[in-house]
């Protein structure tokens, strides 16, 4: 299923609020760290149910980009809409948006002082105010889905990297997010554990989750992505379906990057 | 056993014996034990030498030794007594008065310094620049003032500026404030007191149970029950009911303003206020630093993961950051508690009757039994330190993370 194309021909005559089918929309988003511009007028649209893979050299702004979407980073100019809500500095709104956007980090970031089960129940109980029994039921179902049911009562320090990352995915899913963001979820893993995490992510994609994944796993991109976005120096250089992206990249920079990454 | 074999064994023995000895000498465990044994013998010999020397000296100077003096009459007054005491009681009793006074200051100081320290430490990390710089100034200024100087500042510059007793400030309920302290009516137990006390205890118990239940209920069902009005009703209702049934639980001894002094009533000494305030503010600055570095020691990813799940900053702090920071905060916190307790002996400088002031001061002067008095005092501080450490170690063990 291909998402529909651009909603209107010209960027400037579009309505101020985006139309219904967009999960994420970025318009001319820029961000600086001091004098250094990390994001340069980034435009991006992600439709509901779409799977976007973001790649690009280290330091190109991939993490910054997806962290702006749940406002772990604040952009300075341009506009971001998430599920139709504009991201402003209104704290209430940010917390609401964050509770509907799940995020998975490279370093897992599980809470080491809580069991896996409590890691999963924490936000549903305190943010969604779910009864403990219901939160536990959901959590156990999700742990089964990521195939680590037997680890529920253990602490994160007792799990392997792959198990921790699957627990982290389950923790994000516990909030019933409409969008999942992944920032290099397999980069900190030993090679033999990469597969088990990618499998979980592929299953999630099959179930229709809107996903934005920063990764260099090109096999995953080929198999799962609807679009591959290539970033370099804070700009989106290429944005194309995987077949086109891998076989016929338009920009020289993309070609260079692909030859580097596919060589080894 | 065959003959040939035993011959071979006999031949091998000297070499094997030497080898075994060598392996013992170079065994780190054996070496450790031997070293400790030598050390213990040396220390015991040294201690024996000192004790026999001192006993000889004392005997030559005809100074009494032993702990019999604790039974003798003290003959001096103490300005603050948490337990019944008069100058006809024994040195032993005076010792207990000093000890309870030290415990009072240390206890108050530890509780207050912990609250202020955590508040300032968290404020230090506030994203609000004004709040965080105020906290920084507090920490930097107070950590760098000698605690004795601060005591003098509070005691002589602030509290000694209060009017003398003749010009006491008269407050409502026949209370007076002057340079000798704040004097309020003293509650005395009346016949209804037992019923009243029991009612208050039952009320407190019910409210504690209600608080626990309400948290469980909140987590179990996701709904908040309206428990606050109920808690207030219990807290006010239980004593009121006891009053209605058993009558007035207290009579009050009102202080009277005489020509030179306020007599009667219950007096909060300016020395206690100065000492508690000084120790609290000083120690809180150190605790704030511990809290700040403890919180900063929790990886940034933890805050981000909590935020990404939609937890508010306050929730993230309470549920994720502080529980992890405590592992870093508690060990140095123990040191601060011990420091505060030991620093409470600065009491002597402003005349607060703590253990050192009463026991190692007045009583030592009167009895001349320096060895016994100093030993007892040191033992008391040692016991307090060990008790604090044990408690904090237990707490820290509970906080420890389960690792693989
Ligand atoms: N907090 C920060 N302060 C200053 N520079 C930063 C900060 N975070 C990231 N950067 C810089 O911004 C650039 C983009 O970073 P990032 O988004 O993490 O890149 P990527 O994820 O593509 O490797 C990098 O050059 C990085 O050094
Ligand atoms: Mg990155």
Each residue of B13-44: pLDDT tens digit? Answer: 667 788 888 887 788 888 888 888 999 999 99
Residue among B222, B307, B315 minimizing CB distance to A131: B222
- For residue A264, pLDDT over 60 is answered with no
**Ligand 2 centre from A64 Cα, in Å?**
7
**Ligand 2 centre from B399 Cα, in Å?**
32
CB pairs under 8 A between A and B: 86
pLDDT given at position B97? 93
Nearest atom in ligand 1 to A61's CA:
17
Q: Cβ contacts (< 8 Å) between A95 and chain B: which residues?
A: 310-312
Confidence band of A164 (pLDDT split at 50, 70, 90): very high
pLDDT given at position A226? 95
Is there a contact between A104 and A165 (Cβ–Cβ < 8 Å)?
Answer: yes
Q: Whose CA is nearest to atom 20 of ligand 1?
A: A59
Q: Cβ contacts (< 8 Å) between B223 and chain A: which residues?
A: 129
- For residue A240, pLDDT over 90 is answered with yes
Which residues have C-beta atoms less than 6 Å from ligand 1? A 33, 38, 56, 58-64
Interface contact flag, B315 A126, Cβ < 8 Å: yes
- Partnered with residue B202 across adjacent β-strands are none
Residue among A111, A127, A157 minimizing CB distance to B403: A157
Secondary structure of chain B as H, E, C letters: CCHHHHHHHHHHHHHHHHHHHHHHHCCHHHHHHHHHHHHHHHHHHHHHHHHHHHHHHHHHHCCCCCCHHHHCECCCCCCCCCCCCCCCCEHHHHHHHHHHHHHHHHHHHHHHHHHHHHHHHHHHCCCCHHHHHHHHHHHHHHHCCCHHHHHHHHHHHHHHHCCCHHHCEEECCCEEEECCEEEECEEEECCCHHHHHHHHHHHHHHHHHHHHHHHHHHHHHCCCCCHHHHHHHHHHHHHHHHHHHHCCCEEEECCEECCCCEECCEEECHHHHHHHHHHHHHHHHHHHHHHHHHHHCCCHHHHHHHHHCCCCHHHHHHHHHHHHHHHHHHHHHHHHHHHHHHHHHHHHHHCCCCHHHHHHHHHHHHHCCHHHHHHHHHHHHHHHHHHHHHHHHHHHHHHCCCCC
Q: Is A128 on the interface with B (CB under 8 A)?
A: yes
Per-residue pLDDT of A167-190, as tens digits, reads 999 999 999 999 999 999 999 999
**What domains appear along chain B, each with residue ranges and CATH number?**
91-185+254-399 (1.10.3720.10)
Q: Whose CA is nearest to atom 9 of ligand 1?
A: A64
Residue among A72, A99, A112 minimizing CB distance to B310: A99
For residue A72, the ligand closest to its alpha carbon is 1
Enter the pTM of the model: 0.77
Confidence band of A53 (pLDDT split at 50, 70, 90): very high
Longest dimension (CA), chain B: 111
CA distances in angstroms from B64 to B91, B367, B371, listed in the order given: 15, 9, 11
Q: Which of A34-48, A99-113, A192-206, B162-176 has the lowest mean pLDDT?
A: B162-176
Q: Cβ contacts (< 8 Å) between A142 and chain B: which residues?
A: none
Interface contact flag, B310 A96, Cβ < 8 Å: yes
């Amino acid at each position: 299923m291909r998402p529909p194309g651009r909603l209107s021909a010209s960027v400037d005559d579009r309505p101020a609020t985006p139309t219904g089918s967009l999960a994420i929309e970025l318009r001319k988003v820029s961000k600086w760290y001091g004098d250094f511009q990390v994001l340069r007028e980034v435009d991006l649209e992600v439709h509901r149910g779409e799977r976007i893979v973001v790649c690009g050299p280290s330091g190109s702004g991939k993490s910054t980009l997806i962290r702006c979407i749940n406002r772990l980073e604040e952009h300075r100019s341009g506009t971001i809409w998430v599920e139709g809500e504009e991201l402003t500095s209104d704290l209430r709104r940010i917390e609401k948006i964050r509770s509907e956007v799940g995020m998975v980090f490279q370093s897992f970031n599980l809470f080491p002082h809580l069991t896996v089960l409590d890691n999963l129940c924490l936000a549903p109980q305190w943010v969604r105010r779910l009864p403990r029994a219901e939160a536990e039921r959901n959590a156990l179902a999700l742990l089964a889905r990521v195939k680590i049911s037997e680890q529920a009562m253990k602490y994160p320090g007792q799990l392997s990297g792959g198990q921790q990352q699957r627990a982290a995915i389950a923790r994000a899913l516990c909030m019933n997010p409409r969008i999942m963001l992944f920032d290099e979820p397999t980069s900190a893993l030993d090679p033999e554990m990469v597969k088990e995490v990618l499998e979980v992510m592929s299953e999630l994609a099959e179930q229709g989750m809107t996903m934005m994944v920063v990764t260099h796993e090109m096999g995953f991109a080929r198999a799962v992505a609807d679009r591959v976005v290539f970033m370099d120096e804070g700009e989106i250089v290429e944005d194309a379906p995987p077949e086109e992206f891998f076989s016929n990249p338009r920009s020289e920079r993309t070609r260079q990057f692909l030859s580097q990454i596919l060589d080894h | 056993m065959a003959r040939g074999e035993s011959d071979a064994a006999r031949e091998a023995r000297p070499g094997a014996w030497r080898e075994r000895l060598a392996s013992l000498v170079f065994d780190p465990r054996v070496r450790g034990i031997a070293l400790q044994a030598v050390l213990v013998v040396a220390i015991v010999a040294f201690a024996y030498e000192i004790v026999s020397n001192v006993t000889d000296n004392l005997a030559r100077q005809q100074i009494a030794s032993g702990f019999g003096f604790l039974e003798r009459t003290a003959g001096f007054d103490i300005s603050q007594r948490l337990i019944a005491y008069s100058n006809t009681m024994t040195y032993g009793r005076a010792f207990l008065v000093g000890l309870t006074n030290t415990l009072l200051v240390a206890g108050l100081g530890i509780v207050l310094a912990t609250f202020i320290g955590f508040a300032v430490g968290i404020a230090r990390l506030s994203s609000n620049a004004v709040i965080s710089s105020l906290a920084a100034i507090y920490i930097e200024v107070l950590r760098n003032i000698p605690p004795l100087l601060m005591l003098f500042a509070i005691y002589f510059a602030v509290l000694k500026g209060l009017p003398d007793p003749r010009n006491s400030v008269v407050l409502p309920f026949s209370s007076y404030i002057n340079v000798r302290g704040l004097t309020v009516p003293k509650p005395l137990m009346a016949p209804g007191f037992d019923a009243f006390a029991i009612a208050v205890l039952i009320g407190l118990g019910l409210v504690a149970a209600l608080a626990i239940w309400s948290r469980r209920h909140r987590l179990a069902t996701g709904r908040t029950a309206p428990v606050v009005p109920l808690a207030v009703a219990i807290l006010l209702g239980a004593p009121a009911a006891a009053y209605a049934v058993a009558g007035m639980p207290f009579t009050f001894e009102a202080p009277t303003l005489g020509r030179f002094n306020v007599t009667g009533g219950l007096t909060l000494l300016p020395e206690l206020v100065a000492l508690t305030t000084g120790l609290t503010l000083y120690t809180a600055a150190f605790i704030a630093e511990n809290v700040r570095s403890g919180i900063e020691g929790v990886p940034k990813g933890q805050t981000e993961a909590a935020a990404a799940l939609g937890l508010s900053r306050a929730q993230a702090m309470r549920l994720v950051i502080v529980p992890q920071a405590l592992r870093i905060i508690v060990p140095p916190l123990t040191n601060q508690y011990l420091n505060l307790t030991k620093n409470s002996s600065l009491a002597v400088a402003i005349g607060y009757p703590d253990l050192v002031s009463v026991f190692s001061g007045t009583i030592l002067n009167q009895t001349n039994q320096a060895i016994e008095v100093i030993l007892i005092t040191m033992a008391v501080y040692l016991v307090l330190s060990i008790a604090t450490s044990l408690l904090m170690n237990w707490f820290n063990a509970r906080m420890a993370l389960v690792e693989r």
